[in-house]
Structures are given as structure tokens and as C-alpha cells.
Structure 1
Amino acid sequence: MRLAVLDIGSNSAQLQVVDVSAGAPPLPAHAVKEPTLLAEELLPDGTLSEAGIERVAAAVTRAVDAAVRLGVDHLYPFVTAAVRDAVNRDEVIDRIQASSGIRPQFLSGEEEARLTYFAARRWYGWSAGRLLLADIGGGSMELVLGRDVEPELAVSLPLGAGRLTREHLTADPPTRKQLKTLRRHVRDTLSEVLDRLRWEGPPRRVVATSKTFKQLARLTGAAPQRKGPFVTRELAVADLRAQIPRLAGIPAVERAALRGISRSRARQVVAGAVAAEVALSALDVARVEVCPWALREGILLRHLERVADTPALPLQPLTRHPDATVRHLRPAEEPAPT
């Protein structure tokens, strides 16, 4: 069986294709990435611009075409905060469906947090004990704590790197006043959940997911992605703190030339670094391990878990023609957590 997840985010529409076999981990067989750059297209009234809608619809269409070529049996398309929180999200979803032939669903921030935790828990196994997980996307930051299959606490905060850049770091490079204001905003927003996290007790292991943390870890010396997922990658908060003045002191075009920083994320990496450093420092965390599995893997793993518990059903071939049957993520179906 060949499954795929299509993650439609603020920076790109990412298709991850997995060949499923009994007892094997869902490691990607193919990956396709199409730029969306939606953070640049959010208007002051909270709507996505016409250019942004056209761009994301075209990106999804190319990703679905790739899924068809790759012989995907089941496709699970979903949008994250960039589209989910847009005032005109229904129009955006309608346009995506008209262009690509599939209608993506959206998960709540808490659902994203729980599925990401589910993937990290599977990656590290039960011996990891209580996990504290942090994830910084384009629109939100997720913090999750737990030791069992379902976490004890899962929260999503409006502290994504793209959102913070748009709202607080309007200059390129940002001014010292903007950076100070950003730090205060992150601290104030985190204060809503810090006491609860501390009350739950210290975690045995602290892990981070998302492209933001992967790029920051690479910037501070972690192994490149080409070394594979089984190489341990860590991010020390002291090293991250030392890099922030360097990142904030140069424009985005120069940041893109730094180790690990992609061109599409060069503008928002400063906000991501500040949010990560403030959050980890507030939680008294000195070092995090970067987990290679995150939301997309969580969706695939949840699907596989449910398939194992139910009788097999005939698969519908993936097609992007509007008059054909297309399997997609539904709130009442997989992989919504129980």
C-alpha cells in the first residue's frame, strides 16, 4: 500500500509518500515540495490575497499530480494555520478543490499538537519516559507534555515564525526595538501555559520538531539532512542564543547563505529563533533533541493504527479528476485522535 500526506502550510505544500509494509516504520519513499509563501499574502483584514490563493491552489495541483504519477493509493491532504486561520479560508479551500480535484481538511491547533506528539512518542518509544515536545510552524507554536499514547497537556499558541515576523519584525533586518517587543510578546503569551507545564513536573526528555528547529540545529552545527533520520541532532539553547544577534544583524538575503537556512524561510528565521530561545529558556531547558518525525508522520501512524484494528477495505485509486472518488482526511475519520 502506498500512502501519502499533503501538508499545505505557510511556506510550502509538502507531499510525503510512504510505502507501507507490516512491521516497517513509515519512512518516506518520495517527497515533493511546492512553494506557497502564504505569509507574504496575508492582508491586514486577515484574508489571503488573490495572488496567495492562486499560488496555493497551483502548488496543491502540482503536488496532487505528483501523487498520481507516484501511484499513491490513499492521500490525506490538510491545511495548517496559514489557511485555517484565514478569514476567507472557505474560499481558499473551494479554489484548491476546483484546481486540484481534492478538498483538504483542516486540523485544529490542539489536534496538530497531539498528532505531532504521537509521532515523537513512536519514534523514541516507551523508554523515553515523559516527553516535552515543542514545535514552531509558520502560524503557531505547539507545546505538548506526556508519557502515554495521549498527552497530559497539548496546547497551540499563535507564536509561529511567519506570524511573528509579519506582526513584529517588519523591518529587514529588524530593529532592536522590534526584537525587544517580540521577546516581550512571546514571554507574555507563554505565561498562559508555563505554570501548568511546571506543575506537571519535569520531563525526562525534551524534543523539538518542525523545519524551524531543524534549521536552527543545522545552523549551530548539527548534521545535515542528507545524513539521514537516524543521526542524533541536538540544539543547545546557549548556542541558539549566541546566533540570534548574527541572524538579526543581517538582511534575509544574507541569512539565506548561512548554513542550514533556506531561502524561503530566511525572513522568518529570526522570529523562529527568538520564539524558540524564549520558550526553552522559560521552561529551564538547556538542550533539545530534534525529532525527525512530526505531524505528517503522526497522521500516517494514526491511519496505520486504525487500519490494524479494523477489517481491510478496498482502496480507491487516487485521481485528481473532480468526478472521481477521492479519499481525504475527514474530522470523523482518520487520523483524528480518540
Structure 2
Amino acid sequence: MAGLFPPDTNKNSGRKTGGKRGRSSGKVADFRYKRPSQSTPPSNGAAPKSVAQVIPQGDRSTRRQAYAALDLGTNNCRLLIARPEGEHFTVIDAFSRVVRLGEGLAASGRLSDEAMDRALGALQVCAEKLRRRNVFLARSVATEACRRAANGAAFIDRVRAETGIALDIISAQEEARLAVLGCHILLEQGHGPAVIFDIGGGSTELVLIEPGERVPRIIDWASVPWGVVSLTDTVGRGEGSSEADRLERYNRMRMLVSDSFAPFAERVVGASRAEDIRLLGTSGTVTTLASLHLELPQYDRRAVDGLIVPAASMRDISVRLSTMAPEDRRQLPCIGNDRADLVVAGCAILESILDIWPAEKLGVADRGIREGILRSLMAGSLTPIRSQ
């Protein structure tokens, strides 16, 4: 896929329902978004007609049409709208908002009313952008929070009724595949084995890929239910009053994550000892830590996306953040209030990954699932990455 889709350019930059697991079709849905009808809902109890209308294959027009990818995660709601430009694609609109959909899920097993309302507010904005941009093909996915929540499928139905957006609750395996497809072109050059990881809000995916092919072949993968929100909520948000308290809390996080990673670590231990191993991460955690490494006064995607950072530097920053008082973390550029209470969990997950895969350098990607969806749509492929 690297040969088909080089890095994107940003014009504006300076499951079938089945219980609590939800929909898991694993397929790319082709949709045209239209403004929903304002007429009275049908009296037979049927759901309002979705903004997403299936397009017959014969009705597709040129590659100048707009494509869209929407990712509703445990912590964020993100949208990209892009047009193909030769072998590239150009982003023509984007949206991102912290919604914390999975807040409180670890304790209750359900999405809270407040969290669902926050997510719906963001999705209303996305729906309007999709209509305004006259999107031709799109895919909208939901991940770990909706997979785990007892009311996840009901929330998906509510989203469709209120916004017209038809969310697909994807499996952890498909989430890993899309993340790899979206960012693997940023892997450091080399011939050794590589691991790509995605630290999300509710889960973390790790993927071992085979080197030397234009389209990555997945050799092994794992998904664990620890992301920055789920891990923070499980350990507790209270950080204590002393550095010793914060360190003890951080070590508990590290233990939980390492125990979950153990089966994958055992399977890849041989590959991890090879020469020239490579590592690439996509998440708010790695981009935030990379910004601190660069000492940026504010976040700059152009400086961070594709950056190669010494792994030791990322460890040092993680350790420093883990014992820092919350009020001090909030003052750091590129962290602020949104990430101050969650970044410590991300650091614990990142350090556990570095224990498993001790690469000397870490590649940083500010791209992932949404870009993977766009590449799949533009290529017209349902199976963009081959697995063993």
C-alpha cells in the first residue's frame, strides 16, 4: 500500500448487532451523506432515514470526489475528509474533540448519559461537515468503549437516529489492521522486524509485521483492554499528595499492563532479539511525548508526524511525568487540562511496550485509523493488509 498511497498532505495545515459486543462487520461501507429529511418520523415505528445512503457501484464518479473517515474512540471523536490527488490524498476538512465516551465505563460497564451526550454533540458537528462537503464515500467506526459497554449497541442506534451517521463497531483485530494501514509508511527504513502500536483511550493494539514488503503482512498481533482512560479509571484518578504516592500508582499501572502484554511478549521474544528492530507508535501519548522531546511551545503536527525519537528520551519523559504533580503537568506545553490526568497512563503503557520491544528509536505517527479507512476507501479494497 505504500506504493499506492504516499503520505497525505493537509491543505489546511500552517457489529451486525450482537449483544454488548455490537456490530463487527469488518467491511468497508460505501455511503453518500445527504441532509436528513425534516418530515415527521414514520408512524410504523421505523427509524428515521439515515444520512448515509448506499451508492450503487455503477453510480461512482471520478476520484476527485470527497472521501471521509470518522473514528469514535474511547476518548476522542475524529473526522477526516479528503480528496485523492494522484497517488496522494489532500485533507480538505477535519475535526477532533475530546469526548471521553468511556469515562466511568470501567466501574459501571455502561456508557454514561453525560459521556453519550458529549459524543453526540461532536457527532452532530461531524454530520454537518459530511453534508456540507458532499461526501461521496465514507466509513464511520466506533472502537473499544462501544465494544465493551452493555449499552454500546443502543448508543449506536441513537447516533443513527439523531445524526444520520451509521457507526460500525469494529473488532480489535480490524482496529489494529486499520491503524497499521494508516501509518506503516512512516516506519524507519530497515530490514529487521517491526512492531506498530496504537495506544487508545480504551485499548492498546500491538502488531508485529514482516519487513521487506510494500504491503505489510501481519505476523502476530494483540489487543489489551488498557488505554489511557480505562487504565486511569481502573487504578483511580486520585494521585496522592506525594511523589512516592504517584510513583506507587504508576507502578501499579505498569504491572497491570505488563501482565496483559505477557502472552504477546512471549510470542515475539525471538523477533525482539533480532538486529535492526523497528518501532512505530500512533496515539496522543506518543505525539505528546514527542512534542515534549522537541520542547515545542505548542503542538505542531508537521514537526511531530514522522519524527524518529530515541527510545531512551521517551522513557525519561515518561518517568518524569509519572511523578509530577497534576497541577505541574497542566502547565506543560502540549499537555494542558485535556491530557494532564491521562498522560500518565499512556506513559505506563508506552514503557511496557518498550520493555517488550527494546528498539533504540521510536517512530512517531500523527495518523492511524482514519487514514487507514481513507486508504481503503480510495483503493476500493476490503482487505488492505494481508495477515498470515
TM-score range normalised by the length of the shorter chain: 0.7 to 0.9
Separation in structure 1 between the aligned mates of residue 322 and residue 365 of structure 2, nearest angstrom: 26
Q: Tell me what 1:31 maps to.
A: 94
Report how far residue 4 of structure 1 moved.
Answer: 0.9
Separation in structure 1 between the aligned mates of residue 344 and residue 182 of structure 2, nearest angstrom: 27
Separation in structure 1 between the aligned mates of residue 155 and residue 98 of structure 2, nearest angstrom: 16
Answer yes or no: is 1:137 the counterpart of 2:208.
Answer: no
> In the alignment, is the contact (CA less than 8 A) between 2:278 and 2:361 conserved in 1?
no
Count residues in correspondence.
312
Q: How does 1:294-305 map to 2 (within 5 A)?
A: 294-305=368-379
Answer yes or no: is 1:293 the counterpart of 2:370.
Answer: no
> In the alignment, is the contact (CA less than 8 A) between 2:192 and 2:277 conserved in 1?
yes
Q: Tell me what 1:205 maps to.
A: 278
Q: TM-score, normalised by structure 2?
A: 0.73
Aligned match of 2:300 in 226, 229, 232?
226
Q: Deviations over 1:1-27 (max 9, x none)?
A: 111111111222111111113322x34
Q: Tell me what 1:314 maps to.
A: none
More displaced 10-residue stretch of structure 1: 178-187 or 116-125: 116-125
Q: Tell me what 2:227 maps to.
A: 160
Q: Deviations over 1:45-99 (max 9, x none)?
A: 3001112122212211111112212332222111111222111101111111111
For structure 1, list consecutive stretches of 5 or more residues without a partner in the other structure.
308-332
> In the alignment, is the contact (CA less than 8 A) between 2:142 and 2:170 conserved in 1?
yes
Q: Tell me what 1:9 maps to.
A: 73
Q: Deviations over 1:127-175 (max 9, x none)?
A: 6664211211111111111124331112111121111111014313563
Answer yes or no: is 1:236 the counterpart of 2:310.
Answer: yes
Q: Deviations over 1:194-237 (max 9, x none)?
A: 12112345364211111211111112227665362786423333
Larger Rg: 2
> In the alignment, is the contact (CA less than 8 A) between 1:37 and 1:264 conserved in 2?
no
Q: Tell me what 2:140 maps to.
A: 77
> In the alignment, is the contact (CA less than 8 A) between 1:234 and 1:289 conserved in 2?
yes
CA gap of 1:81–1:289, structure 2 versus 1, over 3 A, is same
RMSD across aligned positions (CA): 2.7
For structure 2, list consecutive stretches of 5 or more residues without a partner in the other structure.
1-64
Separation in structure 2 between the aligned mates of residue 175 and residue 32 of structure 1, nearest angstrom: 34
CA gap of 1:334–1:41, structure 2 versus 1, over 3 A, is farther
> In the alignment, is the contact (CA less than 8 A) between 1:220 and 1:240 conserved in 2?
yes
> In the alignment, is the contact (CA less than 8 A) between 1:130 and 1:204 conserved in 2?
yes
Q: Tell me what 2:261 maps to.
A: 190
3-state SS of 1:66 partner: helix
Q: Tell me what 1:171 maps to.
A: 238
Counterpart of 2:333, as a letter, is R
> In the alignment, is the contact (CA less than 8 A) between 2:106 and 2:234 conserved in 1?
no
Q: How does 1:85-164 map to 2 (within 5 A)?
A: 85-124=148-187, 130-147=193-210, 148=213, 149=215, 150-164=217-231
